[in-house]
């Protein structure tokens, strides 16, 4: 009751209701909210602090930014969502706020398009070397089957495409990436398709901001070949995976295209089935299925083969997510 009462008190002000309405359309920083509300930054910051302390909204620091969103859990989160459902864009104040919010979203789209255009040539060249993305995505969905997941986490989310792909089978989805520019692209893409259950965060793949045994599905799409230590990344991913949870990994098979190191920052030229088997075994994950998609011009031998691995974390009798001693060694 105290938590609910604190939330009710914190919402009893017009500006705070406007903040909830704005954040229901996606996470925003203080500068963006200042523009939407047409109020000073100190005033908006005071409202945000009170609402965060009352459990209505959540805050997350990302580099020099602090991002705010509606809280997803607890009485405060439930109250915030209930209030937003009762608000209507036909209200004059909210209608004006929505217009300024749409301007901000359009600016994000423009920035994302500019960034993508500057790098598209590199991505298109890389994509031309392997099987079409549609075939990869179809295989990925086929391997996962019709299951649904409470929490999906996409590591190295890039443009956010995997979040879009898995949106229909996930209650909540998070995309993690180290690149601020790619996160801007992902946010713009998620806003464009109207995904409300997906969020993205800047974070280190070796130190994920999630509790132990919290994820039902983890996806790692074309990420491991960029990393110095794929094994360490898989161990960290395994830490946040629930017992019985699944991990889907997509990456290139071994190849000899040395230019991918210099032109695309690849750290390793693909990952073999044997290497992945070792990575998964040391992480305590059981391999359920492995698929290989050959390049479009297999006869020339110059294309990139795409491999997909589906792994699962066994349900140990102890129900503990700690690694077995043999695996730690």
Residue 197, token pair as written in the block: 């259950």
Is residue 124 in some structural domain? Answer: no
Residues 89 and 233 in one domain: no
* 135 and 269 belong to one structural domain: yes
Q: What is residue 298's DSSP assignment? A: G
Question: In the prediction, which pLDDT does 325 show?
Answer: 36
Structure confidence at residue 327 (pLDDT): 35
Q: How many CB atoms lie within 10 A of CB 314?
A: 11
- Note whether residue 30 is domain-resident: yes
77 lies in a domain?
A: yes
pLDDT, residue 328, reads 32
Task: Report the chain (329 residues): mean pLDDT per 10 consecutive residues.
Answer: 80 91 87 94 93 88 76 83 83 89 82 64 63 88 95 94 93 91 87 88 92 96 85 94 96 80 72 91 95 74 84 70 40
Residue whose tokens read 């930054």: 41
Which of 82, 100, 118 terminates a domain? The answer is 100
Pair 228, 268 in one domain? yes
Query: What's the number of domains the chain is made of?
Result: 2
| Domain annotation covers residue 118 | no
What is the 3 state secondary structure string of 171-232?
Answer: EEEEEEECCHHHHHHHHHHHHHHCCCCEEEEECECCECCCCCCCEEEEEEECCHHHCCCHHH
* Three-state DSSP class for residue 268: coil
Residues 165 and 313 in one domain: yes
Residue 113 lies in a domain: no
The reply to whether 88 and 163 lie within a common domain is: no
CATH number assigned to the domain comprising residue 29: 1.10.10.10
Q: Which residues of 6-39 are buried (b: 16+ CB within 10 A; e: fewer)?
A: bbeebbeeebbbbbbbbbbbbbbebebbbbbbee
| Whether residue 309 sits in one domain with residue 251 | yes
- Quote the CA–CA distance of 280 and 276 in Å, as a whole number: 6
What is the model's pLDDT at position 210? 94
Residue 174 lies in a domain: yes
- pLDDT at residue number 108: 76
Report the DSSP pairing between strands 198-202 and 170-177: parallel
> Do 57 and 154 sit in the same domain of this protein?
no
Q: What is the CATH number of the domain that holds 308?
A: 3.40.50.150
How many residues make up the chain in this entry? Answer: 329
Give the pLDDT confidence score for residue 74 in this predicted structure.
Answer: 80
8 A C-beta contact, residue 163 and residue 150: no
- The verdict on 151 and 83 lying in the same domain is no
Residues 23 and 65 in one domain: yes
How does DSSP classify residue 262?
A: H
Same domain, 41 and 166: no
Task: Determine the structural domain holding residue 287 and report its residue range.
Answer: 129-328
pLDDT for the residue numbered 123: 61
Domain boundary among 56, 81, 100: 100
pLDDT of residue 314: 93
Residue 22 lies in a domain: yes
Report the first-to-last Cα separation within the chain, whole angstroms. Answer: 48
Q: Are residues 67 and 148 in the same domain?
A: no
My answer on whether 47 and 158 are in the same domain is: no
Looking at residue 228, what is its pLDDT? 73
Q: Within 13 A of 32's CA, how many CA atoms are on the CB side? A: 23
* 116 in a structural domain: no
């Amino acid at each position: 009751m105290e938590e609910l009462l604190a939330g009710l008190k914190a919402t009893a002000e017009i500006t705070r209701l406007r903040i909830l309405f704005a954040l229901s359309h996606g996470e925003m920083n203080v500068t963006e909210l200042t523009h939407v509300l047409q109020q000073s930054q100190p005033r908006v910051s005071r409202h945000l602090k009170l609402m965060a302390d009352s459990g209505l909204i959540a805050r997350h620091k990302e580099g020099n930014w602090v991002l705010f969103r509606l809280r997803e859990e607890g009485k405060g989160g439930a109250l915030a969502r209930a209030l937003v459902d009762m608000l209507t864009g036909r209200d004059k104040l909210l209608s004006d706020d929505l217009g300024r919010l749409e301007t901000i979203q359009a600016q994000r789209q423009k920035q994302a398009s500019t960034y993508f255009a500057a790098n598209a040539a590199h991505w298109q060249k890389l994509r031309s070397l392997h099987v079409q993305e549609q075939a990869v995505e179809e295989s990925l969905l086929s391997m996962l089957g019709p299951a649904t997941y409470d929490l999906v986490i996409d590591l190295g989310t890039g443009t956010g495409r995997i979040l879009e792909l898995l949106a229909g089978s996930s209650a909540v989805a998070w995309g993690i990436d180290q690149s601020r520019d790619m996160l801007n692209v992902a946010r713009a893409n998620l806003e464009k398709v109207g995904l409300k259950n997906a969020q993205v965060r800047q974070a280190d793949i070796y130190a994920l901001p999630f509790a132990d045994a919290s994820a039902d599905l983890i996806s790692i799409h074309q990420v491991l070949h960029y990393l110095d230590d794929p094994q360490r990344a898989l161990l960290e991913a395994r830490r946040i995976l629930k017992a019985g949870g699944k991990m889907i990994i997509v990456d290139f098979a071994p190849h000899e295209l040395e230019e991918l190191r210099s032109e695309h920052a690849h750290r390793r030229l693909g990952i073999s089935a044997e290497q992945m088997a070792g990575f998964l075994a040391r992480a305590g994950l059981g391999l359920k299925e492995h698929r290989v998609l050959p390049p479009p011009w297999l006869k020339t031998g110059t294309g990139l083969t795409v491999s997909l691995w589906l792994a699962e974390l066994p349900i140990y009798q102890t129900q503990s997510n700690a690694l077995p001693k043999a695996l730690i060694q």
